[in-house]
Structure 1
Amino acid sequence: MNKSSVRDKGRKTSKQKSQPKGTKDFDPVESETKIRRPIHHYSINETVSTSDSYNDDSDHETRALLHRYKYYSRLTPHTNGILQMPDHIVPSNYLITILVPLNGKQNSVITIFALWNTMMGTSLLSMPWAIKQAGFACGICMLIGMAGLMLYTSYRILKSLDGIEMGEGQVLEFSDVCRHYFGKWSELVAVVCSLLTLLGGAIVYWILMSNFLFHVVSFLYYQVHPAPHSTPFGNSSNFSDAVCPHMVKPDNATSSHSTFSKVWDEQMTVPFFLVLMLLPLLNFKSPTFFTKFNALGTISVAYLVSFVSVKASNWGINLDFNTEDINLPSYTSQFDMTFPALTGIAALAYFVQNCVLSICRNQKHPENNVRDLSIAYILVASTYIFVGVLFYSAFPLTKVCIQDNLLNNIATTDVMAFVARIGLFFQMSTVFPLLMYVFRVQFMHTLFGSVWPSWKHVLLLNLVLIGICILFAVFLPHIGKIIGFVGAFCGLAYAIALPCMVYLKSCYLEGTLSWPKIVIHSFLIVIGIANFIGQFLILGHTT
């Protein structure tokens, strides 16, 4: 049986122009492009039996279309597209549809909001505790200072592409820039820091989800079986909604409450119940379904800001800079030696260096990227300072009681807290699979060269990661310390050291390197090192 082949080389149609050289690809904004694929078929001039041909070739309509395709293709050489077969005549099953990246289409408002939404996270819950560790005045100053430092290094990452002549697809992320200047080792450092950030986020999410699930179920239980004198977190103030976990005694009022407390324990049982809910969600090949819930993050932040504002209006301001009695609710420390707890948390709270290029590359007017980045950092710092300072200032009990999760200072039976917890739990349960997916993709691709080696590899990795999360939720459920260590390490390596080193190397290659530049950027790296060492020095001293 003779075969013929009809080929239409490389002709494609698109609603958009191709991306100009020198711009980055893989933008989220894409258009459809159709490329004609080679068509192999048996000779249509011969009668063929059903057993020797494809089903499509035996179809009269398909045979007619192949005749037309062959006719048009012979009218003109493949290098000349004037008389080639029109696109509307080519059978749809002979076209391959691909997505082609477009030039930036987002305006400044979208860029600022995307940066703000990326940086706002679980660190918001720890801001009052962080200010308590640093002191009132010191905490505000350091939140502003860390915002300025992280803004500068993010700016350096944005500008790191200026000295690189890019072809399409050559440079995608900052890790590629590091490889360009320093080789493979710097790219590996960037990847490891990215993986640690994702793992730290997953651990914090597991601890918080266990906490929220515990309180949500406890709220429902105590609505049906009210405790006569106490709740799981009790209350030791004149305000029915404010609690101090350090002062709470176990609830032994009745045997039913005692049994419930044993079965439903925040550290010993709830983290394991969480496995039943989340493990099935972690083995999907695509996270598309979970990306539909990204807007919940913004809603959660807005509700938390409103929640803190309402509580503060009910409690009033409880600050006294003159008293020295730490047991008074109004006692306010201006400075404490445990301030590295705040700088560690702030390093992760302001961490956007690993995706700043991805977000800003879609800007319609790239010349505004620096301005938009600055506005985003101002808004993020303002949000963190507002929530942290307001809750710290208004908290009606002694400041020592403030927890690294501000919702732990609100009674389990408080309705507004219940709404916050159930909303945050649902939001985090949709984000957690995304974190695990991104971790899996980076880890598997680095180790095996494939994002899905097999379902066994994926399942084993998920079980290991969940095991790590459970260990922390059971034995070290302190998100403030975890965020501090992860933020300090990743802030040192990825957010401070690598951007400064890349800038100094580019200046050296351009012949513009000077001693002031070396001194200033070396000092920034020293700050990052000191922040990381400080996390070890304050172990056992934070409350």
Structure 2
Amino acid sequence: MSRAEASPLLGGAAPTNTYKTLSRDSLDSLGPAELTASAILSTYTKLEKSLKPERPKQSSLVTIFSVWNTIMGSSLLTMAWGVERAGLPAALILVAFMAALCLYTAYVLLRVNKHHGSDSCEVPALCRTLLGRWAEVLAHMFSLLVLLGANIVYWILITNFLYFTVNYFVDLHSSNTTEYNMTLLCPRHVNQSLLLAEPVEEVSPYWGLHSTVPMYVALIVFPLLNFRNVSFFTKFNSLGTLSVVYLLIFVLVKGYSWGIHLPPLDTRPVRNAAVLSGMLALSFYIHNIIITIMSNNARQDKNGRDLTIAFLLVTVTYTLVGAVFYICFPLAKSCIEDNILNNFDMHDIMTAVARILLLFQVVTVYPLVAYMLRTEAILLLPLKETRTLTIVINLSIMTMCVLVACFCPSIGTIIRYTGAVSGLVHVFALPSLLQVRSLQLRGRLTWWKTLFYAAIVAFGALNLLMQFFINE
């Protein structure tokens, strides 16, 4: 597809005809293996004009659960790790504070769009209208960053799930599953494992979690990246909601079986809470797609209420998974991994089911994310899309993913840095700048309002800065 054929919409980073094969319903259902579904969906915000006829409005209940399902991401697996790094009291306060702040800035975007945009408008278009071309480019660039982070995290998760799933079936008939189902692992402190269980050792130089398996994943994924019609993969998006529900049940069942194991009073440095705040900036990130989702609400006068309820549900979900796992985890809390499934022996039946379910879902979602990243990159450069260029970009993405999966396979670290950087731009800075400009144009800007929104931007900058002063 040439640049001339792209026909960009609203200032546009995306062509109308590129996304006609995908429905809005299938896009709204993406999750939760996503780094954050809103980051993935942001590339598709221009789709609305290409849908004919226009979709009917949806009820408040459908809108609420659409927002809930869209926000939920892979940070669900890392939430207990974030709670451990921040400490339970600070974590509970921080989750509530970040939820409220991200809810407010998302609502600000809805208010700005009401005065200066339209139902098919989105953040980049608002940036161009109110702030100029530089802000539009900035919005697109950091959406690209989030998509790249999503690709890397997906690759690490696929590698992890594939490795342990294969090992599970290989050892299925030679292990005592009753014993292993009671086993917890502390990969960072082997001697603290229950029942003296050792972490899984590499059984072959040709089958290593951080050496060969990331490259084997390329053999599976590369053919999928070259599908011309990626709408095939949207048929599996219902697994997103199923995965969230299963993980909730998984944590509640495990927590009930362990009982409560409260740690002593936490005296860790306060700056470590920035680990969780960086993650949460991405965990509550829906800002690039919120206008499109809420424009489908039949009760536009209830957008504020419905958005608040959706954020409340997300907050409760994160709190349940993170706090319950942390409170009930019977080993030293420092043993909690940034992927909670790594704390369980691979023979644990519930863990094996979770990995199989998530493996299938992430493998089907990854081609969508890579496709959006590739399309966004081609349009931003700009370049003429050819078969050769597509293959080169796919190979470049996969090479980067393999390298990170081999040498820095920490999804928690990737999520917190990506969240802090993209959060500064999309969650804190752009909504604040757009609101200030909107108030100025409407003659309602005061000094204290300017100071208030400047403080939001300063918080986002501080959140990013603190990521470099964490005790690992």
Both structures adopt the same fold (TM-score exceeding 0.5):
yes
Question: Conserved in 1, the CA contact under 8 Å of 2:117 and 2:126?
Answer: no
Question: Conserved in 2, the CA contact under 8 Å of 1:29 and 1:102?
Answer: no
CA distance in 2, matches of 1:130, 1:464: 31
* SS at 2:113 equivalent: coil
Which letter maps to 1:461?
Answer: I
CA offsets 1:486-513 (integer angstroms, 9 cap, x no match): 0000000111100100000111111110
Q: For residues 130-145 of structure 1, what are the structure 2 equivalents within 5 Å?
A: 130-145=82-97
Question: Cα distance, 1:320 vs. partner?
Answer: 3.9
Question: Cα distance, 1:240 vs. partner?
Answer: 2.7
Does residue 536 in structure 1 map to residue 468 in structure 2?
Answer: yes
CA distance in 2, matches of 1:499, 1:241: 47
Identity %: 39
Question: Cα distance, 1:286 vs. partner?
Answer: 2.4
Structure with greater helix share of residues: 2
1:421 to 347, 352, 355: 355
Structure 1 residues 263 and 421: alpha-carbon distance in aligned structure 2, compared to 1, 3 A threshold:
same
Compare CA radii of gyration and give the structure with the larger one. Answer: 1
Counterpart in 1 of 2:228?
Answer: 285
Counterpart in 2 of 1:391?
Answer: 325
- For structure 1, list consecutive stretches of 5 or more residues without a partner in the other structure: 1-25, 31-97, 250-256, 323-331
* More RCO (CA 8 Å, sep 6+): 2
CA offsets 1:440-474 (integer angstroms, 9 cap, x no match): 22221222366xx1111111111101111111100
Q: For residues 154-169 of structure 1, what are the structure 2 equivalents within 5 Å?
A: 154-164=106-116
Does residue 271 in structure 1 map to residue 223 in structure 2?
Answer: no
1:243 to 181, 185, 202: 185
Larger mean Cα displacement after TM superposition, 137-146 or 154-163: 154-163
Does residue 371 in structure 1 map to residue 305 in structure 2?
Answer: yes
Question: Conserved in 2, the CA contact under 8 Å of 1:127 and 1:384?
Answer: yes
Question: Conserved in 2, the CA contact under 8 Å of 1:347 and 1:488?
Answer: yes
Structure 1 residues 165 and 210: alpha-carbon distance in aligned structure 2, compared to 1, 3 A threshold:
closer
Counterpart in 2 of 1:58?
Answer: none
Question: Cα distance, 1:516 vs. partner?
Answer: 1.2
Question: Cα distance, 1:224 vs. partner?
Answer: 4.0
Question: Conserved in 2, the CA contact under 8 Å of 1:108 and 1:372?
Answer: yes
Question: Conserved in 1, the CA contact under 8 Å of 2:96 and 2:315?
Answer: yes
* SS at 1:243 equivalent: coil
Does residue 468 in structure 1 map to residue 411 in structure 2?
Answer: no
Q: For residues 74-113 of structure 1, what are the structure 2 equivalents within 5 Å?
A: 100-102=52-54, 104-113=56-65
Q: For residues 222-371 of structure 1, what are the structure 2 equivalents within 5 Å?
A: 222-226=171-175, 240-248=182-190, 260-321=203-264, 336-371=270-305
Question: Conserved in 2, the CA contact under 8 Å of 1:263 and 1:269?
Answer: yes
2:165 to 207, 216, 219: 216
* SS at 1:457 equivalent: helix
| Number of residue equivalences | 419
Structure with greater strand share of residues: 1
CA offsets 1:327-380 (integer angstroms, 9 cap, x no match): xxxxx5687431110001101100000111121121112112111111110000
Counterpart in 1 of 2:81?
Answer: 129
Counterpart in 1 of 2:12?
Answer: none
* SS at 2:114 equivalent: coil
* SS at 2:52 equivalent: strand
CA distance in 1, matches of 2:103, 2:404: 31
CA distance in 2, matches of 1:136, 1:369: 32
Counterpart in 2 of 1:203?
Answer: 152
Structure 1 residues 505 and 478: alpha-carbon distance in aligned structure 2, compared to 1, 3 A threshold:
same
* SS at 1:263 equivalent: coil
Question: Conserved in 1, the CA contact under 8 Å of 2:75 and 2:415?
Answer: yes
Question: Conserved in 1, the CA contact under 8 Å of 2:271 and 2:469?
Answer: no
Structure 1 residues 135 and 99: alpha-carbon distance in aligned structure 2, compared to 1, 3 A threshold:
closer
Structure 1 residues 336 and 414: alpha-carbon distance in aligned structure 2, compared to 1, 3 A threshold:
farther
CA distance in 2, matches of 1:337, 1:160: 34
Counterpart in 1 of 2:103?
Answer: 151
Which letter maps to 1:369?
Answer: N
Question: Conserved in 2, the CA contact under 8 Å of 1:104 and 1:361?
Answer: no
> For the aligned residues, what is the CA RMSD?
2.3
- For structure 2, list consecutive stretches of 5 or more residues without a partner in the other structure: 1-19, 26-49, 192-199
TM-score (norm 2): 0.84
Counterpart in 2 of 1:519?
Answer: 451
